[in-house]
Amino acid sequence: MQALALFALNCAAVFVVAAVLGLLGPGPGGLPFLAVPVAIYAMTGKPYFCGALIACAAMGTACAELAASAMLGTAPVWASPWNAVLNACMAAAGIVLAAGISRCWSYGKLAIAVAAPVFVTQAVNMVLRRETLQAWFSASIESLQAELQAPLSQPPSELMKAFLEQCQWLSEHWTAWMAGHIFAIALFGACMAISFTSLWLRRVLQRPGPVGGFRTFGVPDWLAWAVIAAAVLAYVDYRWPGTPVRVVAWNLGLALTITYWLNGLAILVYAVYVANAINARFAGYLMTGATLLLFPQALAPVGLFDTWFSFRKKLDKLIEAKRLLDQSRHDDD
């Protein structure tokens, strides 16, 4: 009885999250909230419960869009039956997550496997509904600009002008960065979903989670060639602007940036783990806080150069040095 009550609560939570996503418009931001319950029930061998949760994700989206249409007297610009499919796919990504954990995939491989189907469905939606989504995005930017300018009794400051110009630029060039933006959110959401699922499995259900934690998130060495390709394409776009190369170069660059940024963040988390192991916890937390507050952009280069310098192996040497030092002190005693 308690299990059914918990399942009903999960269904209600998924329905509400999907409804909120339906009101906000299409996007992969709800991935960790929709996929985690499905993954947990898939890991516990309850496929029918998984199907019900996926159906709740679709129904929550559809009901929210129908309610918005009824209240506004017309369907919102972003409304489409396809949005229910998108959110159902995000919930179904939990099945991929559970399958990857069962097959002992590495954290990085699992993150890509969970993010990939979400990104593909969102990208297909962007291509098929390009004109509609562009009109919706442009209207959203114009509404934001109007809200920011309305309270001003005097001409906007230079900072405000720069921000408004950036918003206008994003609206005019959205195809050059939207796909990379979608991938970035999907990959970040996949990492959140994996970590939340792992925490629940290990702490609550006493089951083994994914192989390794977020600190083991890694990027294959061959991906450095994609960085080189993106740099070449960016130069081509700079040298001969106005070509379709910009769409590929900027989206690829944004996708690679978030991938290596996450790798840099994982290295930072690994450094905290090493600091705890060598009894330097305060130094580890201080370094983490300073990096995230002052130099968050430095994590992407760190993640990239890890391809050649293997920072985790260098950090492991600190643990080995601490072990040898403790052993030497013990022998002296």
Q: What percent of the chain has pLDDT over 90?
A: 40
Question: Is residue 67 located within the same domain as residue 7?
Answer: yes
With bands split at pLDDT 50, 70 and 90, how would you rate the model's confidence at 213? confident
* Tens of pLDDT, residues 237-262: 888 887 788 889 999 999 999 999 99
Question: Is residue 206 located within the same domain as residue 220?
Answer: no
Question: Is residue 44 located within the same domain as residue 172?
Answer: yes
Are 87 and 30 within 8 A, CB to CB?
A: yes
Question: Is residue 259 located within the same domain as residue 152?
Answer: no
Question: Is residue 208 located within the same domain as residue 234?
Answer: no
* Tens of pLDDT, residues 102-153: 888 989 899 999 999 999 999 888 888 877 777 777 777 777 767 766 665 5
Question: Is residue 169 located within the same domain as residue 230?
Answer: no
Question: Is residue 27 located within the same domain as residue 136?
Answer: yes
- Please report the pLDDT score of residue 230 as a whole number: 93
Question: Is residue 238 located within the same domain as residue 282?
Answer: yes
- Please report the pLDDT score of residue 302 as a whole number: 93
* pLDDT beyond 70 at 333: no
Task: Count up the domains in the chain and report the number.
Answer: 2
249: containing domain = 216-333
